[in-house]
Structure 1
Amino acid sequence: MTKIYGLLGKNISYSFSESFFSKKFEKENKDCSYTNFDLKDITAVEEVIKNETVQGLNVTIPYKEEIISYLNELDPTAKEIGAVNVIKFDKNKKLIGYNSDYYGFTESLKPLLQKRPVQKALILGTGGASKAIAYALKKLNIEYTFVSRTPNTQELSYNQLDQNIINSNKLIINCTPLGTHPNVQNYPNIPYEYLSENHILYDLIYNPSETTFLRKGKEKGALISNGLQMLILQAERSWEIWNT
């Protein structure tokens, strides 16, 4: 019986995961397939879970938090983060939620930090992905502040970002979908004129490979990275989780 793995999300035809795992299964001669479960509403996940051939799932926008109520158990890291991007079906068909986003981000960020160490960071956006980023930064002892269009008392709004804040936060991570293909002209509204060669700009977006956010940073001499390496690392970690 062919084992089915897949991705839960909404409007995910662009997804990296399907092509990554399909190539992996072909290369390693695995009797497995990977499919996109494009759900208009999270309640449709019940049908996917019932499918006897489904052995494991990835989860993407906008369901990384909503999926939790459908799971039997959370790995301690996923519980602390409050977001899930990997679901393991154990031998009793119990659903266990994990987070491999933080691992992918941490390991892809480390080489950049070796070139340009930082102490403080801005996280643009407050969705499920940003929670894993915050967890990773905490483990790396990097102080962080969320930037939101609708900030709470601990967060900054975009119009509060000034020269002093940009100067003191040398790492800026875009966790919003702004700039994703096909709307490549969009970008987070930060004061790019205050960026310097001491900054690192990291965009979780991987399509296009260089977003407007990254290009504007590069023009100021900043070190830049898109989210492709993070995706590859988190996908490999997903495979390990499903098979242990």
Structure 2
Amino acid sequence: MKIDAATRLYGIIGHPLGHTISPAMHNAAHEATGINAVYLAFPMKNIIQIKHTLRQLGIRGLSVTIPHKISIRRILDKIDPLALQIGSVNTLVRGKSDLWEGYNTDGPGAIRAILETGFTLAGKNVLILGSGGSARAIALSAAREKVNKIGIVSRNKRAAIHLARNIRMAKAGLKSTIDLFLVGKSAKASILPSANWESFVLTEPGQLQNYDLIIHTTPMGMFGHPSENEMLLPDDFLPRKAVVFDIVYKPALTPLIRAAKKRKMATIPGYTMLLHQGAMQFELFHNRPAPVEVMEKVLLAELKR
């Protein structure tokens, strides 16, 4: 990689960053496309530090990760409508007149990963496992694809209701009723009736049989997480006709993916969301198609380390 006075600077901010895969992916993409740019990791704790760094180093674009995805909005000049609906930003681009624009490629990256398999979302019933930030990004992005119904399975009643309201308020093309399924301790708590959703205590496998796609968005099953050997749903609650997408990518064979394969269900690798959200960031940075195959090769090599 040649670096000179004309080299444009990009990077990722967060704290802690640890071993982030993003620099390897983006720098491989720069080399493959002949773009004179370098992508570095910037571990930073506070927004003021980030604001000064943007100004002093002449950075052209940034990926944003924990803990800055929400607070970073304060220093932006413009935020994409979907990122506003999601409530968080994972991509910064220096736009026209040097104004900073914020985007969210997490949800769209997951959607692209799904569509790349040949699965059609329009008219389908999608079940989201979880109700946190990733669930919100994916649910709102899925709604834009004109899915027929979105179901939410959550252990957190308050978060589930908040997510359902977000989806309905976004008016993103979803016309059918939203289903809320409570599990764990929340299953004992009732939800007030609403014209915007139907609520259920999840007790029988048959309650989920109408879903075509299951997307798992919680840390359960993640390597090193306290619940790495657990699942949000029992095996027999997985409808055999559904496709299963677990966004946890390490390990590749999470408890959910193992259970799905045992039931001979189609699955989507979790790393593909990371791949496509990164590819979409590249496209926002450089206004050209990303070399996805190159980025995928590097990503898989990094995950094997």
1:161 is matched with: 202
1:220 is matched with: 263
1:189 is matched with: 232
User: Deviation digits for residues 154-196 of structure 1, max 9, x if unmatched?
Assistant: 5433333331333233322111222233448344321222224
Q: 1:46 is matched with which residue: 48, 51, 54?
A: 51
Structure 1: gaps (5+ residues)? none
User: SS of 1:122's equivalent?
Assistant: strand
Question: Is 1:200 the equivalent of 2:223?
Answer: no
Does the 8 Å contact 2:12/2:22 carry over to 1? yes
Counterparts of 1:84-123 in structure 2, within 5 Å, are 84-112=89-117, 114=119, 119-123=124-128
Does the 8 Å contact 2:121/2:145 carry over to 1? no
1:145 is matched with: 151
Q: Distance in 2 between matches of 1:185 and 1:227?
A: 15
User: SS of 2:245's equivalent?
Assistant: strand
Report the count of equivalent residues.
Answer: 244
Offset, 1:113: 5.9
Offset, 1:42: 5.1
Q: 1:22 is matched with which residue: 27, 32, 48?
A: 27
Q: Once structures 1 and 2 are overlaid, which stretch shifts more, 63-72 or 146-155?
A: 146-155
Does the 8 Å contact 2:122/2:146 carry over to 1? no
Q: Distance in 2 between matches of 1:128 and 1:194?
A: 24
Q: Once structures 1 and 2 are overlaid, which stretch shifts more, 80-89 or 140-149?
A: 140-149
Does the 8 Å contact 1:116/1:198 carry over to 2? no
Matched AA of 2:152: F
Question: Is 1:10 the equivalent of 2:15?
Answer: yes
Over 3 Å counting, the alpha-carbon distance change for 1:117 and 1:236 in structure 2 is: closer
Q: Distance in 2 between matches of 1:96 and 1:234?
A: 17
Q: Distance in 2 between matches of 1:100 and 1:42?
A: 21
User: Deviation digits for residues 10-55 of structure 1, max 9, x if unmatched?
Assistant: 3332433121012222333433221223344555433433332311
2:73 is matched with: 68
Q: 1:178 is matched with which residue: 213, 220, 224?
A: 220
CA RMSD of aligned residues (A): 2.7
User: Deviation digits for residues 81-123 of structure 1, max 9, x if unmatched?
Assistant: 3222211112433211112223322222125563899732222
Over 3 Å counting, the alpha-carbon distance change for 1:37 and 1:146 in structure 2 is: farther
User: SS of 1:50's equivalent?
Assistant: helix
User: Deviation digits for residues 105-144 of structure 1, max 9, x if unmatched?
Assistant: 2222125563899732222223332222112221222211
Q: Please report the TM-score for the alignment, with normalisation by the length of structure 1.
A: 0.85
Q: Please report the TM-score for the alignment, with normalisation by the length of structure 2.
A: 0.70
Matched AA of 1:147: V
Does the 8 Å contact 2:26/2:282 carry over to 1? no
Over 3 Å counting, the alpha-carbon distance change for 1:55 and 1:24 in structure 2 is: same
Over 3 Å counting, the alpha-carbon distance change for 1:189 and 1:43 in structure 2 is: farther
Matched AA of 2:265: A
- Kindly, what percent of the aligned residue pairs are identical? 27
Q: Distance in 2 between matches of 1:120 and 1:23?
A: 37
User: SS of 2:53's equivalent?
Assistant: helix
Q: Distance in 1 between matches of 2:93 and 2:82?
A: 14
Structure 2: gaps (5+ residues)? 165-179, 185-200, 288-305
Does the 8 Å contact 2:125/2:211 carry over to 1? yes
